[in-house]
Amino acid sequence: MTNPKQIIKELLDSAGIKINGDKPWDIQVHNEGLYSRVLSGGSLALGESYMDGWWDVEKLDQFFYKISMAKSETKVKPLKLIVPFVKANLLNMQSKSKSKHVAQQHYDLGNDFYENMLDKRMQYTCAYWKNAKTLDQAQEAKLDLVCRKTKLKKGDRVLELGGGWGGFAKYAAQKYGCHVTSYNISEEQVKYARELCKGLPVQIILGDYREAKGKYDKVISIGMCEHVGYKNYKKFMQLAYDCLDKGGIFFVHTIASNKSVKSCEPWFDKYIFPHGMLPSVEQLGKAMDKLFILEDWHNFGTYYDKTLMEWYKNFDKNWYKFQKQYGDRFYRMWKYYLLSLPGTFRARGIQLWQIVLSKDGVPGGYESER
């Protein structure tokens, strides 16, 4: 007879994790039903059981780092993990109608919630820590890096696909004298961005990126490619190409996978980023084929480890302001989200890419910025 506890114990042992051990990355089990639940439900059950208080770990980030390094999660493939794969092959999970789910569930939580977690510029993507000591400094460095990589100059017409809370649009308009048109499907973010960019040459449009039109010198996408989906990468690239004037540059900042996938990670799909999907080198390469010239491909995924840890510190420090509104299960869900990812980035299981593409090739060659 199969012993679920023994199977889980062996998987954890291979990662250097003990059940009820004394190390900060050891799992403390509060409900013996955990073992059969995880075996039958995979990663979704692992996350949900944590939300339900069935287990704890002092250092969640280290727990996931060790699991990622040992690749233990690939040894269990329960039936439930097949379902998202089948759905992804039959359906376009990132269609225009479905894309609104992530805005409603995640980005529209409340601007005050994110103000208490993020930096002063409300940047919800990886910061650039090369010469920075604080989150504010690292996020400003990221914005300036984007501007330098795209060779922004005064008077440039910039199309932003997925504008967040308007931080990049404001920065590009104020610091570089650009005219920015930004598309976003989150009503809460659009309200915030319009107020933030008031008086600047910035147009914030409540609309799907697929509705973008016009001609621009630069097209920029920061942290939106994760919501595009493998069925839409080619159309994403084609839209950017069509919106660029001759000699234009397309810039993509995205979390990425080491392998090509066609399904969403079940727990994150259900609770954090509905229909989210990480692109691979192969998928983006095929999508840009016959359209763009690749000028630069920069990976600084390890900086996301530090960025997420800073977000968690802010979230945890300010949680008392939101405890009554959201409740303890939400707290455990958000903690699981913010601390599971740093360990995965730390183990190099997922990456952060900044890609610079040109429509016709940069005359004389492109000089990389770091």
DSSP class per residue in 90-101: HS-TT-HHHHHH
Write the CB contacts of 295 (distance below 8 Å, at least 6 apart in sequence).
Answer: 249, 356, 357, 358, 361, 362, 366
Q: Point out the least confidently predicted range of 1-15, 18-32, 307-321.
A: 1-15
Confidence at residue 92, expressed as pLDDT on a 0 to 100 scale:
54
Average pLDDT estimate for 114-140: 98
Residue type, 300: F
How far apart are the C-alpha atoms of 249 and 253, rounded to whole Å? 13
Average pLDDT, the chain: 91
Is pLDDT above 70 for 317?
yes
Question: Is the CB of residue 55 less than 8 Å from the CB of residue 63?
Answer: no
DSSP 226: G
Q: Name the H helices within the chain.
A: 4-14, 34-51, 60-70, 82-90, 96-102, 111-115, 135-149, 167-176, 187-196, 233-243, 266-271, 281-288, 302-318, 323-326, 328-346
Is pLDDT above 70 for 300?
yes
- Residue 96 binned pLDDT confidence (cut-offs 50, 70, 90): low
DSSP 243: H
Confidence at residue 329, expressed as pLDDT on a 0 to 100 scale:
96
Average pLDDT estimate for 135-157: 98
Average pLDDT estimate for 95-102: 54
Kindly report the CATH number that applies to the domain delimited by 92-301+348-358. 3.40.50.150
Average pLDDT estimate for 156-165: 97
- Residue 110 binned pLDDT confidence (cut-offs 50, 70, 90): confident
- Residue 101 binned pLDDT confidence (cut-offs 50, 70, 90): low
Confidence at residue 100, expressed as pLDDT on a 0 to 100 scale:
53
- Residue 25 binned pLDDT confidence (cut-offs 50, 70, 90): very high
Residue type, 148: R
Is pLDDT above 90 for 78?
no
- Residue 86 binned pLDDT confidence (cut-offs 50, 70, 90): very low
- Both structure tokens of 269: 């799909």
Confidence at residue 94, expressed as pLDDT on a 0 to 100 scale:
52
How far apart are the C-alpha atoms of 264 and 84, rounded to whole Å? 7
- Residue 97 binned pLDDT confidence (cut-offs 50, 70, 90): low
Burial class (CB in 10 A: 0-12, 13-18, 19+), 311: buried
- Residue 103 binned pLDDT confidence (cut-offs 50, 70, 90): low
How far apart are the C-alpha atoms of 33 and 49, rounded to whole Å? 10
Q: Where in the chain is the domain with CATH 3.40.50.150?
A: 92-301+348-358
Is pLDDT above 50 for 85?
no
Map tokens 């890419």 to a residue. Answer: 353
155: left (phi over 0), alpha (psi -120 to 50) or beta: left
The 3-state secondary structure of 60-76 reads HHHHHHHHHHHCHHHHC
Confidence at residue 295, expressed as pLDDT on a 0 to 100 scale:
98
Better pLDDT: 178 or 88: 178
Map tokens 């084929």 to a residue. Answer: 289
Is pLDDT above 80 for 227?
yes
Is pLDDT above 70 for 56?
yes
Confidence at residue 90, expressed as pLDDT on a 0 to 100 scale:
43
Q: Helices H, strands E: what count in the chain?
A: 15, 9
- Residue 109 binned pLDDT confidence (cut-offs 50, 70, 90): confident
Beta partners for 159? Answer: 181, 219
